[in-house]
Amino acid sequence: MVKVDLRGVAKVTAKGRTYWYAWRGGPRLRGEPGSPEFVASYNEAIEEWRTPDQLRFRALVTLYRASAEYKSLAPSTQKNWSIWLDRVGEYFGDLRIAQFDRPEKIRPVIRQWRNKWADKPRTADYALQVLSRVLAHAVDPLGKIAGNPCEGVKRLYSGDRSDIIWTQADIAEFKAVSSRELADAVDLASHTGLRLGDLIRVSWSHVGGDAKDLHFHDLRGTAATKFYVAGLSVRVIAEIMGWEEETVEKIIRRYVGRGAATRAAIAQLNETRRRT
């Protein structure tokens, strides 16, 4: 086999298998390194990058890979997402972007693709998350479509805990028996929404009720409520957390809305007492 020097080709090993990409974060290449199929797929990727058909969904994937948002993801996330971006591009790539502006028509296609992993709900939801992020990017900042058609497509995994949060009483109770280090970690998680894997890598250079079955990652929901109370929009919170807007809205309705209603009732009672 003739050895061909292709600049920028990236090698990724995942679960014992090796994948080759036209560049780091770029599309996956076909065939064995040096084979005609491999070289042809490399040339196709370069040509697509240079002159993508701006009317096809494949262009959205290319634009998202090149975005600051994608490049800001953790290296491990980019590594996992790159594989799924390839799958998204392969399945939806030839569709016209305009078709994604007709939710009632495209959602059945999205569900059909998601259901390829119906026997693995977490995998199906992961696939949907990556597709949704590309489409969210197409909405804003690209302005290619009016709305994200993934909104309204339900997740299959039933173990989602994103709507469970730690109350201030829960945090206080935990701090009363925990070490100073764990207490600080809980504070950081509840104020930033960072995942546990990201929290343990944070360094100083990055610094700029009833009993419940609470998990550490439930603190991400706690952070979402604090972001909302601080004035961030549902869309911005969804982007920060990597969730669907529907998930964020559910948390806001359940916790922030309920708390606001309680405060309003207390204020009304106090006003009534003052008048009497």
Q: CB under 8 Å to 133, separation ≥6 — which residues?
A: 64, 242
Q: Phi-psi region for residue 25, left (φ > 0), alpha (ψ -120 to 50) or beta?
A: left
Confirm whether pTM is higher than 0.75: no
Contact 191, 223 (CB under 8 A): yes
Chain-wide mean pLDDT for the chain? 80
The predicted structure's pLDDT at residue 26: 74
Q: Give the residue-averaged pLDDT of 81-94.
A: 91
Provide the terminal-to-terminal Cα distance of the chain, rounded to the nearest Å.
94
Q: What is the pLDDT of residue 97?
A: 94
Residue 177 CA: distances (Å) to CA of 171, 220, 222, 273: 10, 21, 20, 40
Give the span between the Cα atoms of 13 and 31, in whole angstroms.
15
Tens digits of residue pLDDT in 153-204:
888 876 655 666 788 888 888 888 888 888 888 888 887 777 777 777 766 5
Q: How confident is the model over 4-58, as pLDDT tens digits?
A: 557 778 888 887 888 888 877 677 888 888 888 988 888 877 776 665 567 889 8
Q: How many CB atoms lie within 10 A of CB 105?
A: 11
